[in-house]
Structure 1
């Protein structure tokens, strides 16, 4: 698949349900991360999912080659092309950074989005100018320090420890650890979108204009920045529902697919 202006993005499908869906995975993962969730939603959705630039089996990320002015612009362009190819309204589901891409696509082409599900969108810019911003900076300081020092292995270990599925770094498969280390630099390209809101998602009036049903999902064991920013988003998106999965951390589509699928299944009836 080509987005019309850049290299090929790897695309695959899950499920055999009557409703078309688009899944956008989190950073450092790949489209296969939707398999556990779709094993539960198989009869409800047919999900198209793509690997983000530089992830999985997609082409490497190089500015200017994927279309879009920056990383989130390139990812959004691919999502919009897949929405166009779908022909009709689609249930869009995004996780973490993928939820930012999903939100950006929904704001760009709302007529193509039937329902929108945002699972722990890492839009840290929502905390700026508020009481939780200093806490976020403290929370992210160890990762930031490792990146600034050029210590990719340490940065990957810190990042996975904070945002992973709870598995100790030493017990992560060596090949997977290598993939995390190899791709950790992509977070530098992603940072302008989640920390500085380079896509303008938080601009006055944008979130308030969303008219499709929106579901926000988080775990109750996720980093402290998540519940704070989710409350901001819930307060600005008209009619948004905020659900919390007990015992889950940031990787809840992988660790708690049944609970997440149940929430999404109920949400589908709204659109």
Structure 2
């Protein structure tokens, strides 16, 4: 159950692409809905994407700190599902997409989960890889704990944004850096669901609810934990398959939009 979401704040929603399929596209943390522009263009008239900006991201208002951010984001995303739709999510957005598939399978026709950051899967399945990831994450977590969101954003971007040749922090426009810094408090607010599965999504009775076709997509050059997460989710979900984008890292919807769209097209066709 999603708690404390009776009154939802207004968020900015972007409409991208054109086509007969209606799809909900959920971006990653410290990005915004425009991150789907390349994928929408590469889908070449197959689908209309409804892409909301999370609170504290893009053109949406800041999160006021009330309630649970995962609950808030799930409820805001659910409000966009006005009919059964295909859902595409990236990183934390993929976590929201998976939760929608579990809680509201009647509204999720299919789901594409791109590098879902469900680290609790790796804690169960591969503790050593999970421990390595925790060590790699510690620098940005320390910066967050010290209240230095600028340093935290730089370190977070270094960990997840540069393995596929994405621009490094000094090369990013000031406006982009400011946008990333703005969203960093959210990263610390969702550790419970991501690392400890605090909402119980891994329970067998929950996983079985997401019986629609699901594609788990990752970049070949991403952090090793993502292979563990995707494989673990495939083994737990009733109707899931995997795909890999060669040469891509965690940010594959942005760095490799054509390849990402091609895998989505193939998945929809099947």
What's the TM-score, normalizing by structure 1?
A: 0.92
Aligned partner of 1:105 in structure 2 is 100
The change in CA–CA distance for 1:36 and 1:119 in structure 2 (over 3 A counts) is same
CA distance in 1, matches of 2:89, 2:58: 16
Shift of residue 4, structure 1, vs aligned partner: 5.9
What is the number of equivalent residue pairs in this alignment?
Answer: 261
Aligned partner of 2:34 in structure 1 is 32
Aligned partner of 1:264 in structure 2 is 264
Matched ranges for 1:71-220 at <5 A: 71-83=69-81, 85=82, 87=83, 89-129=84-124, 130-131=126-127, 132-165=129-162, 166-220=166-220
Residue 104 of structure 1 contacts residue 199 of structure 1 at CA under 8 Å; is this kept in 2? no
Residue 17 of structure 2 contacts residue 40 of structure 2 at CA under 8 Å; is this kept in 1? yes
Matched ranges for 1:246-261 at <5 A: 246-261=246-261
Indicate yes or no: 2:235 matched with 1:238. no
Structure 1 window deviating more from structure 2 (242-251 vs 200-209): it is 200-209
Structure 1 window deviating more from structure 2 (102-111 vs 163-172): it is 163-172
CA distance in 2, matches of 1:189, 1:52: 13
Q: Out of 51, 54, 62, which is 2:53 matched to?
A: 51
Shift of residue 209, structure 1, vs aligned partner: 3.1
Residue 57 of structure 2 contacts residue 182 of structure 2 at CA under 8 Å; is this kept in 1? no
> What SS does structure 2 have at the residue aligned with 1:215?
strand
CA distance in 1, matches of 2:107, 2:182: 35
CA distance in 2, matches of 1:56, 1:35: 14
Q: Which runs of 4+ in 1 moved over 6 A?
A: none
What's the TM-score, normalizing by structure 2?
A: 0.92
CA distance in 1, matches of 2:50, 2:187: 24
Structure 1 vs Structure 2 CA RMSD: 1.5
Residue 146 of structure 1 contacts residue 152 of structure 1 at CA under 8 Å; is this kept in 2? yes
> What SS does structure 2 have at the residue aligned with 1:235?
helix
Shift of residue 113, structure 1, vs aligned partner: 1.0
Gaps of 5+ in 1: none
Gaps of 5+ in 2: none
Spell out, residue by residue over 1:135-172, the C-alpha distance to the aligned partner (whole angstroms, 9 max, x if none). Answer: 22112122122222222222111100111153111111
CA distance in 2, matches of 1:175, 1:49: 21
